[in-house]
Structure 1
Amino acid sequence: MSIVEEFPLPARRLSEYDALVAAAPSVLDAIPGAVYLCDHDGWLVRYNKEAAKLWGRTPPLEEKRERFCGSHALFLPDGTPLAHEICPMAMAVLEGTEIRNAEVVIERPDGSRSVALVNIRPLKDQEGRIEGAINCFQDISAQKAIEEEVRSKNADLEDFFENSAIGLHIVGGDGIIQRANRAELALLGYTADEYVGRHIAEFHADAPVIGDILHKLSCGEKLDRYPARLRARDGSIKHVLITSNSRLEDGEFINTRCFTTDVTDLHEAESARRDSEDRLAATYEAANIGIAEADPAGRLLRVNDTLCRMLGRSREELLAMTFRDYTHEDDRAQDAALYARQIAGELDGYVLRKRATKSDGSTVYLDIHSSSVRDKAGGFRYGVRVIQDVTASKQMEDQIRASEKHMRDLLEALPAAVYTTDSTGRITFYNKAAVEMSGRAPQPGDMWCVTWRLFNPDGTPLPHDQCPMAVALKEDRAVRGAEAIAERPDGSRVPFIPYPTPLHDADGRLVGAINMLVDITERKQAESRQKVLIDELNHRVKNSLATVQSLAGQTARHADGLDDFLRRFEDRLLALSRAHDLLTRRHWEDAPLESLAREVLMPLAGDAAGRIKIDGPPAALNSRTALSLTMALNELATNAIKYGALSLEAGSLSLAWRLPDEAGAQPRLILEWHEHGGPPVTPPTRRGFGTRLMERCIERDLGGEFDLAFEPAGLSCRISIPVELVNA
């Protein structure tokens, strides 16, 4: 047993945190505001009813506790999301920072939000260690709404003042300008520093006027559109209307708010109108054109001296007439009808050329420009008729029109394409030959040339703005010696020679150009044919000599004697000659197959020509094909006359051809030779020169196929040549 008496230790004093945790719930609920308590790790340990109400939820305090805040979500005042881990309570607990009057936005589970004013104090023990923190916060949404409304109204008032379309300034009781908006400064051209702070009288052009304005306002009178003149910074004078009232306190003039309406343009317009009326009155009589005013019935109310001279009548005489009285009877109805429509409001005015009868009975041509003068309600008051004597110009126009018609008739009659342009290159006239040559009618706005497309002689594109006509206009010179090719919309092309020539007026100024396009298609074709003929002649002479040499050698090699050689050689030369004659008649262009067959077969057959049947669709052969096929047909015909079907009176032969449409294969011309009623045919024991000649002409020269069949009923032959050698 210890002899030391144990004394009880003094009771430990509770910290603030412990006291708050130990306090009854009613203690926190008694606090007038939302309160919650977190421990040193930030876990939520206590909260009152106001906090739960503001959060819109009751966070658990046992299992699944929450840290730092019991709200559903947090946001900064600008709407940026605020994580609980970095909210004000977290800063207080983790860093020991005291938070005063911070604002956060609390979002409830239902999506509604409130602005809260947050005050947080860290709770520490006796040694200064953080045990937790307490957050006292309150809903200030209503206050923020009021603040926003006040701010918005102030902004609206400020915007109204600064951005008003009408000038506005505030003047103190001492006459010093206290403030001015943008419209006021823009009206006078001053900056705020140059205008504000100075006496208002400095800017008024009339001292008595500003004196009267200040006196009236100091007495409490209101100003409504008071006219005044202000001096702008650039020295100009602005006519304005002042609308203002005074602010008085205890009878003392404090300041005035003045609206300044700029009526400078209106004032100038009114001055211009008065000047215009004065000038009009002076001009009315001095004008060198006729002027008249007529009432709804057409009776003349006012006329000037020029109109009197124009019609050869006195003023008194005209004022007793209507404008219909001196109008030519053939034009009277038209003028009256247009005037009636003008009175009814269907026309604002009209322009008319008519004839009028002078007092001596002579006729003048007048251009009438009629307009209306109406009252405010739109009712017709009177018509103003401006009249110009155009008799001389009408006669000149008739002469020019007759001359132009004569010129157009001449140009239309020309067989060459002719067109004209203005000085900018825009087409103004073209004849029928130009349409026929270009294959189109020029469209409005077409420039430089009537053709659809242009090409140089070498086939390269020629832009219209670089064509000879464009060069002639741009360089103001005639262009000669040029050639071009016109392409029609259908793709066909026409070579031509242009003759563009600039046109000038009497003063030598360029006013346009005329161009004649000479179609040289036939010349080009002739040149082409000539070249082809020369080339073909050279080629054919060489080929003919080679062919004749071959014929002579082969015929001699297989002839039975000199007489047999001469006869056979002459027949083959005659066949070659007939083909040359046919091609020469057609300028060595394509030869019709039917004509070629008849030229070869009929002279050889003689009396037996009636037993030859020739049939086939139209087909034209080029010169090389015609010569080769002539030699083959000549050999077949000679054989038929000597040994085949035509050697007997009962025999006959047929030559037919076709152009089959064989999909997927190279198209070819097929010729079929059939002999009937002749002597029985037996195959020869050896291939003669004639057979080799035909094979050479068809297969080697033309790249075709040659099939000869010695059938007992009669000789048959099938010739096939590529279609590209034939023009169907």
Structure 2
Amino acid sequence: MKPSADQTEILKLAGDTLDDVGNYALLELLPVGVYVCDRDGLIIRYNRAAAELWGRSPRIGDPADRFCGSWRLRYLNGTYVPHIECPMAVALATGEGVRDGEIMVERPDGSRVVALVSIEVLKNADGEVTGAINVFRDNTEQYNLRIALGERKREFESILQALPAAIYATDAEGRITFYNEAAAELWGVRPELGKSEFCGSWKLYWPDGTFLPHDECPMAMALKEKRPISGMEAAAERPDGERIPFLAFPTPLFDTAGELTGAVNMLMDIRGRKIADETAQRLAAIVESSDDAILSKDLNGIITSWNNGAERLYGYKAHEVIGQPVTILMPEDRQDEEPQILARIRRGERIDHYETIRQHKNGTLIHISLTVSPLRDGQGRIVGASKIARDITERRQAEEQQRLLLREMNHRVKNLFTLSSSLVTLCARSAASTEELVSGVRERFAALAQAHTLTLPPTWNVASDEGQTTTLHTLIRSILLPFEKKAGDGEPRAVITGPDLPLGGSAVTNFALLLHEFATNAAKYGALSVPDGHVHIACSEDGDQFALTWRESGGPPIEREPADEGFGTLLTRATVKGSLGGRITRDWASEGLVIVLSVARDQAMAR
């Protein structure tokens, strides 16, 4: 179809527009689609690139192909667009061109191309619209990339919304462009996108409570200095007045040209950590101030912590034992305990009030009550053990002393009953009448009670307001008072010779205990168990030593030394060596027992 005169004029204008420097034939060489419409929208010229984009070659001037040579047009969302409403039709109708508009071209084979359209309206000298030229190109790849980026952005934003950490972004000027729910929850407010700046919180404060202006916050600092900031602490105040401590991690964003485009910030709520830190500090203070020894070790038995109580109990400084095996605290005969303890800890068991023995730095053995508990990491795995050791040495000593006291009381009661029986027997042998027997027994029991009082510690002797003091001879006479009757040969049953010795403090009790033991045994088995028996107590001095010799005669003959040591013998030895710091020997002669007791004079006289 040959163009009309008006169309020829339009083509001339289009040619001038398309090629101000060359021939109109260059239109065919362009890599973009180009077509020209008259003022009625009839296509009067198009190039090969346009036909390829349309997927068809429309006829020039055909009214069936007004405004565009495409098979169909659609909006980017897929909605059908009639040609009469396409960008070319709108441009001719309004006289306004189009710059980089997008529309979807559907080809006859059903394939679709997103075209980037630029339309320039052609006008005559009077300003009347005479036609228009459309330059368009395939923008499908860029469109698909933009869609993919948009999907990735939406996916990324969904991920950010799901994160428990508070995250928000700003533009280069600090205006907030995005924030997730965690950020809104931390702030207690929802900032206005595009207006709120640097941080969405109501107010900000430094950790020391000083007010922090928003334009000086970590995000503002990162944008101003164009550098990331890691872990700066601040506190956000909510409208209700609650302050939330957080760590900020703002990071600037740059485009491919290196220009600042904005920043993203993550706020880490550290309320839990603050509480944990405060709790840990309180626990550490409790551990350090505890009188109990508290230490921890790993699963190999290596000491990892050590408190002041442990230093006091074991004598080691922390730097001396941390990194060392815990077996340095164990005596040689207790080394096998540690593998058993570690095995139980690995099984998750707790060991409660395990009484054992440990060793001080100076070698002293310590009785302790031990509690061992597994230590777990954040994932619940057992990584070591904590030990709490309590010194029970004094308690064990008190228990042992109590047991000794109970055995001593039992022994004394038995001896008193035996002695009482012996006294009755002795009185019965010499009594001429019942009255004489009763009188003799009463007198001897009264003497026995007086002597027994002397064996009690000063705190038990309620009749005395001061510490017990007496002399050795006085004490001996009091102890032997129940046997003061003369023997059958007319001689005294007990004779005391040699120098006397003042006794003070606990020495009174200790000597009374020893002499009572000697007299009781003599009354039960020795010289005082028969009417004609005698006891000679000889005292002597040699420098700073004082000796007492107890010699029995006239009693039942001794056939042999006792095979076993009774409790009384053990108690006597413990009293002499432990309390008096002396020594004692026994000679089981056939004619009678001889006991030699030697003590330091100063020890016996001490108050």
Normalising by structure 1, we get a TM-score of 0.32
TM-score when normalising by structure 2: 0.36
